[in-house]
Amino acid sequence: MQTGGRQGPEIWLRGPVDTGPHAAAPEAPERSSSIPVGIPTGIPVAPRRFSWVATHGGTGATTLAAVYGGRDCGRDWPAPEDPPSVLLVARTHAAGLAAVARALEVFRRGEAPAGLDLDAVVLVADAPGRLPRQLAQYVKAIESVIDVYRVPWVPAWRVGDLSGEPPRETEALARLTRATLDR
């Protein structure tokens, strides 16, 4: 953007943008839903399936897929037979947040494989406790362009014990993936 010869910040917009001469007010982007139109409420519908895509090594995507369901794609893009709905996964350390920013840029530029639908980013705590201010600001910047779900540090998962219920702080993620939290 040029204003008086000065370069302004790049702005990310969610959804399609029509800049033509007959552009109307922006409409909400269409999102595919797991509930087909015309199905009365109360009738069971199969949960939406997701592909978990790790943006760097050690994200915990395999654990998340085991706990919340869906397909663990590792660091690869989903194959044609995998669910096209993508959840990008990263740890909350500086390298992890930078990796998820690079992956978001791939989607923003339209360089991701055709047919994929980026649904959200899932950030997994890299350590117990609060994030340092610098990292929290980085997370806030990511949240300004896409839905972000946070997963706290879970000591049991570190040693491979996935038998317990998902943490209460992940109820929104459980609703998205239709995993059940019996609490």
Q: Is the pLDDT of residue 129 over 50?
A: yes
Q: Is the pLDDT of residue 75 over 50?
A: yes
CB of 181 within 8 A of CB of 165? yes
What strands, in cross-sheet order, belong to the sheet with 85-91? 71-72, 51-54, 85-91, 117-124, 148-151
Query: Which residues on adjacent β-strands are paired with residue 89?
Result: 54, 122
Least confident of 11-25, 35-49, 129-143: 11-25
pTM above 0.85, yes or no: no
CB environment 108-140: b (16+ within 10 A), e (fewer): eeeebeeebebbbbbbbbbeeeebeeebeebbe
Angstrom distance (rounded) from CA 157 to CA 154: 5
Q: Is the pLDDT of residue 35 over 80?
A: no
What average pLDDT does range 58-70 have in this prediction?
95
Task: Identify the pLDDT of residue 42.
Answer: 57
